[in-house]
Structure 1
Amino acid sequence: MSTPDRSPGLWRRIPLWQKILVGLALGVLVGTLMGESASVFKPIGDIFISAIKMLIVPLVFSTLVVGITAMRDPQKMGRIGARTIALYLVTTAFAIAIGLAASWLFQPGVGLDMTFEANPDAAKEAPSLVQIVVGLVPQNPVDALASGNILQIIVFAIGLGVSLTLIGEKGEPVVKVFESFAEAMVKLTSLVMALAPFGVFGLIAHVAGSYGAEVLLPLVKVIGVAYLASVVHVLVVYSGLLTLLGRLNPVRYLQGILDALVVAYSSASSSGTLPVSLRCATKNLGVSEGVAGFVLPVGATINMDGTAIYQGVVAVFIAQLIGVDLSLADYGMIIVTGTLASIGTAGVPGAGLVMLSIVMAQIGLPLEALAVVAGVDRILDM
């Protein structure tokens, strides 16, 4: 009698993060062996990213409305919101400071002989602080939803959620609709995440094949410094906050967010990782859907600590590369500017260059120098 094939069941029993790591490892291997030909797998990754992006707007909007109405008390929501934003800004400032310190300590730009040409396309136009504040309020919520303007969607969802809470029983039917819709979006997220190992394989194979040794070797030190600073930020800042404020074991926390970590790394998008982050927070860490639905969408938009570290490391790297000595005031300006800029730049691939252009302009570094790191921006921003 033949033995039944149990492989599908075995695959289902493997944790998602392990499947994603397998896809990532295979992507690196295939990309390294095939070189630029590995771009043939990129459409697989593009489909996965498109599916993730498909979830963002409806998931953010519905979970945020449900999260606010679940709190019942607008004052409680206000307290949580104020603490959340303050904590996000503080961790972002710490992230930039760690990046600055790491780049100052290891000096990745000293002794490096590289030239660069003017590249006006490398720096995107950065919004001013006034434009950011004015742009928070949508003139047309439908346009905000259609265009995927996350900050405007968050503002509208908060207003709608508070209003539904204030009208009490009259708002219950609408709240139930949003609850059902949010639950359906969470289920759809689970279905999309089943494709994650294949999507990650396609993305990483393309990246590994596109960035060969000839591109990476001159910048391997700055990439290493940025990654090291990120590890320090997680082990020191996050672990410290988890232990002191959350009374949570950092190891348990990291185990709970492994899926989100791997997806965030491979997609280089905090907004694109939001559906996975919500799932990890509620299912793995036991965070209430109300708190997670309010805190995480805001964080995916304004709390980009990894990108902030990238700003600190690369700003000092470029200054060292062109022989500019930064003053203590310049370091302070980088921290302040980078923290504020993180609010106005979307959590999508390429946002790092936008933030970096703001920081460099404030301390007088030539924006043409962005061309030095623009080629490996995706790797630095992962």
Structure 2
Amino acid sequence: MKFNFTKGKNKSTELAIRMALSLVLALLVGTAFILLRESLIANDKASIWNSINNILFQDITTEEGKNALGIFYILGQLFINCLQLIIIPMVFSSIALAMCHISDTKKLGRISSKTLLGFLITSVFALATACVFGFAAYKFGFFNVNLASNTSTSVATANGNNPLLVILDAVPSNITSVMSNNSMVLSIVFLAVVVGLCINNLGEKVLVLKNLLIDLNNIISVFLGFVITKFSPLAVFILVTRTFAVYGLDRLKPALAYMLTVAISSMLFLVIAYPLFVYLTTKLNPIIFMKKVAKVALLGFSAAASSAALSLNEKTTVEELGVSKDIASFVLPLGMTINMNGTAIMQVIAAIFIAASSGYTLTIQNIILIAVLALIASVGTPSAPGSSSIILFTVLTGMGFNNEATLIAYSLIIAINRPIDMLITCLNVIGDSATAVVVANSEGCLNKEIYNS
């Protein structure tokens, strides 16, 4: 008897397989480039590696890359730019149209409260996981790293603003400035909800704007389908290969304990907490959920930005998990802005690592306070690569960690955090989708036939 393994597989499954194969190939090629880099540098042939780096991997926007070719950087950035190009119009049009279809304001209130409750539940468990693993690593002495002064690098820090400013910034004072800034997604959500509800209230009096939003949404769907279907496997390979190639072992060794702690805690949370969250609240098979969102996690991993995965996440959540488009259009953009479970885990463990390696003594009370500050700071973290480690400075200043060793340890985190950013983005995007499934199920807006197909 012959088995046809491709029979019955839809295009989405084929895309997931292609992306998974691209990831495996990227890990192999990236590791080969790391070994090549180390070998050339060890044999006094750094100039050869510099030439390879300039041709393939160099960031051409920096001073060092002004004369470089940077093929992998250019191709990877073009893909990310295509996805980020549609963030503002997609979020605005999808949420506004969703509000047009919700005539019951009580239903909107229920959806909002259930969404925020879902985000809070997963965030609390994520922080608890980070506290347990971070405190254990601290007590076992894994974070007693000897940081030499030469490990410091240029340090980009966040302003020491009150994290609660995220609430104030949710209501913008200027529409044009918000529409031109991808980091102001929470403000876009507010504007879209207001516009959608107003269109809903006016009914037949407003048809042109509503039809314009529908046309814009349709254009975005076609553009998105083309970009993701045709280019995402190649983009996964390019982005992951470049990330591995530009990080030498000299940067990874000093903070290996930190990276392993974040990786282990994140992976356990990913494979245990989210499936349990879906199963306990919906009684649906969580394995089906994890399989279908795997490609979303892969794209988030490759781009290290929730914003880059938002479009694919919405497409997967609606078309494969059976979530109502109205609910997905509201929950996912909001989650991309304020639901940062992976970011919170990283910031707690990073703060513990920095404090321990800088000579500070930590108690359980200190760890809990770090967790609270990380929860608040993660809400205001932009969904862009590297932003989590920048906002980490807010947690450090809030705890009073400010000696010279702290800045050295913090600069080390900045230098090596790209692989961690890639991992925690997976948690962020899957958490958004899981909450959308839970909310849709509670509202009777989940097509279980689609989910189980």
Task: Give the TM-score of the pair, scaled to structure 1.
Answer: 0.91
How many Å apart are 1:126 and its aligned residue? 4.5
Q: Partner of 1:286: helix, strand, or coil?
A: coil
Offset, 1:173: 4.8
Structure 1 residue 134 and structure 2 residue 171: aligned? no
Question: Contact conserved, 1:109 with 1:318, CA < 8 A, in 2?
Answer: no
Q: Distance in 2 between matches of 1:287 and 1:175?
A: 23
CA distance in structure 2 between the partners assigned to 1:293 and 1:144 by the alignment: 19
How far did 1:14 drift? 6.4
- Of 355, 358, 362 in structure 1, the residue corresponding to residue 398 of structure 2 is 362
| Structure-to-structure mapping, 1:87-126, within 5 angstroms | 87-107=118-138, 109-116=142-149, 121-126=155-160
1:67 deviation in Å?
1.7
Aligned CA distance change for structure 1 residues 120 and 92 (closer, same or farther; 3 Å): farther
Number of paired residues? 373
Structure 1 residue 136: deviation in Å? Answer: 1.3
Question: What is the Cα deviation at residue 130 of structure 1?
Answer: 4.6
Deviations 1:88-117 (A, max 9, x none): 133223212211211222347434322346
> Using a 3 Å threshold, how does the CA distance of structure 1 residues 82 and 120 change in structure 2: closer, same or farther?
farther
1:78 aligns to 2:109 (yes or no):
yes
- Give 1:345's aligned residue: 381
TM-score (norm 2): 0.77
Deviations 1:37-83 (A, max 9, x none): 34142211111111111121111111111122222222211211122
Name whichever of 117-126 and 63-72 sits farther off: 117-126
Q: Distance in 2 between matches of 1:298 and 1:321?
A: 36
Matched, 1:322 2:358: yes
Per the alignment, in what secondary structure is the counterpart of residue 218 of structure 1? coil
**Match 2:195 to one of 156, 160, 163:** 160
8 A contact 1:45–1:201 mirrored in 2: no
Q: Residue 144 of structure 1 is aligned with which of 178, 181, 190?
A: 178
**Residue 285 of structure 1, CA deviation:** 0.2
Q: Deviations over 1:127-170 (max 9, x none)?
A: 32453222111222232112232111111001111111222332
Hey, what does 1:187 align to over in structure 2? 222
Pick aligned residue for 2:257 from 212, 215, 221: 221
Letter matched to residue 133 of structure 1: I
Give 1:120 deviation, angstroms.
Answer: 6.8
Is 1:209 matched up with 2:240?
no
Contact 2:355 2:361 in 1 (8 A): yes
CA contact (8 A) 1:43 1:202 kept: no
Contact 1:42 1:205 in 2 (8 A): no
Higher relative CO (Cα under 8 Å, sequence separation at least 6) belongs to 1
Letter in 1 for 2:297: L
Q: Structure 1 residue 13: deviation in Å?
A: 8.4
Contact 2:160 2:397 in 1 (8 A): no
Q: Is the 8 A contact 2:137 2:143 kept in 1?
A: no
**Partner Cα distance (2:380, 2:225) in 1:** 30
CA contact (8 A) 2:153 2:415 kept: no
Q: Does 1:199 align with 2:232?
A: no
CA distance, structure 2, for counterparts of residue 233 and residue 314 of structure 1: 17
The structure-2 alpha-carbon separation of the partners of 1:225 and 1:83, relative to structure 1 and needing over 3 Å to count, comes to same
Q: What does residue 170 of structure 1 align with?
A: 205
| Distance apart, 1:226 and its partner CA | 0.8
% identical aligned pairs: 26
Query: Counterparts of 1:23 and 1:126 in 2: how far apart (Å)?
Result: 40
- Note closer, same or farther for the CA distance 1:333–1:111 as it changes in structure 2 (3 Å cut): closer
Shift, 1:202, TM fit: 1.4
Q: CA contact under 8 A between 2:386 and 2:418: conserved in structure 1?
A: yes
Aligned partners of 1:12, 1:249: CA distance in 2, in Å?
Answer: 22
Q: Secondary structure at the match of 2:254?
A: helix
Amino acid at match of 1:348: A
Runs of 5+ unmatched residues, structure 2: 1-8, 38-48, 58-70, 423-453
Judging changes above 3 Å, is the alpha-carbon distance between structure 1 residues 13 and 244 closer, same or farther for their aligned structure 2 residues?
Answer: closer
Q: Judging changes above 3 Å, is the alpha-carbon distance between structure 1 residues 380 and 166 closer, same or farther for their aligned structure 2 residues?
A: same
Cα distance in structure 2, aligned partners of 1:126 and 1:83: 32
CA contact (8 A) 1:122 1:370 kept: no
User: Superposed, which structure 2 residues align to 1:280-319 within 5 Å?
Assistant: 280-319=316-355
RMSD: 2.2
Tell me the distance in 2 between the aligned counterparts of 1:128 and 1:246: 37
Q: 1:291 to 1:138 in 2, by over 3 A?
A: same
Choose 63-72 or 118-127, whichever is displaced more.
118-127
Letter in 2 for 1:181: L
Matches of 2:217 and 2:284, distance apart in 1: 27
